[in-house]
Structure 1
Amino acid sequence: MAKVLVVDDAKFMRLTLGNILTKANHTVIGEAENGKEAVALYRKEQPDLVTMDITMPEMNGIDAVKVILNDFPKAKIIMCSAMGQQRLIVDAIEAGAKDFIVKPFDESRVQEAIKRVLG
């Protein structure tokens, strides 16, 4: 069972992911609407895993990944992106994200990614 921080600017997406995580016996320890909030919450909670949207206001997911990994090199982050954002996914992986899941979320794909990243 992992403690997970869910980051997405859309409340509906946070709810959807939260439900998938809860069903898989993980605990959502916090939610953030943008990269700035994500960084602050990560510092405070130090979760086992982060699901990070790419496109968000204030600070995007890729910049947030860089900041978090700079301070916490062992952080495990899975990027979430809409279809057709391959270039951004590559940028995210290069920034240090461990995996990615595509919206709309496929529950089994989300759970596979989480298992793989948490080892």
Structure 2
Amino acid sequence: MKALSILVCDDSELIRMQMNEVLRSIGVKNILEAKDGEEAVKICVEKEPQLVFMDIIMPNKDGIAALKQIKQKTPHIKVIMASSSSGHSHLRKSLLLGAHTFIKKPISEVVIRDIIYNHLDEQSKSSTKV
């Protein structure tokens, strides 16, 4: 999992730390962090992580605005939107803008593992097709 690059974008330092711990515990070595959507867009353009875990409600640029820009500039990056609010409008808008999936906070370790392993499984299947 060394090659897997993941960006964790949340305005809460505590949530970023918790996500980091979970990702490291399953073997992810390349973890990037952003505290708002502006930073996330910049990192996605410069570093091109394969996966992004993105909070929706953040200062400066929220997750929806950041998702829109990330998908325009780097459409191959999979963005997983996360929110503690259960607003269906956020969910619908995220999916329409190209989010890979939407998860509810607090994010469980099992959900994170499933997303990572599904991504790796998809990658290995697509790389074996020639």
TM-score (norm 2): 0.84
Look up the match of 1:77: 79
CA distance, structure 2, for counterparts of residue 86 and residue 116 of structure 1: 24
1:54, distance to aligned residue in structure 2 (A)? 0.4
Please tell me whether the aligned partners of residues 9 and 33 of structure 2 are also in contact (alpha carbons under 8 angstroms). Answer: yes
1:83, distance to aligned residue in structure 2 (A)? 4.2
Look up the match of 2:49: 47
Identity %: 34
Please tell me whether the aligned partners of residues 6 and 28 of structure 1 are also in contact (alpha carbons under 8 angstroms). Answer: no
**Runs of 4+ with >4 A deviation:** none
User: How many residues end up aligned between the 2 structures?
Assistant: 119
Structure 1: any 5+ residue segments left out of the alignment? none
TM-score (norm 1): 0.91
Please tell me whether the aligned partners of residues 5 and 49 of structure 1 are also in contact (alpha carbons under 8 angstroms). Answer: yes
- Could you say which structure has the greater relative contact order, defined with CA pairs below 8 angstroms and 6 or more residues apart? 1
Residue 93 of structure 1 aligns to a residue in which SS? helix
The amino acid across from 1:48 in the alignment is: Q
Structure 2: any 5+ residue segments left out of the alignment? 123-130
Please tell me whether the aligned partners of residues 81 and 89 of structure 1 are also in contact (alpha carbons under 8 angstroms). Answer: no
Cα RMSD, aligned residues only: 1.4
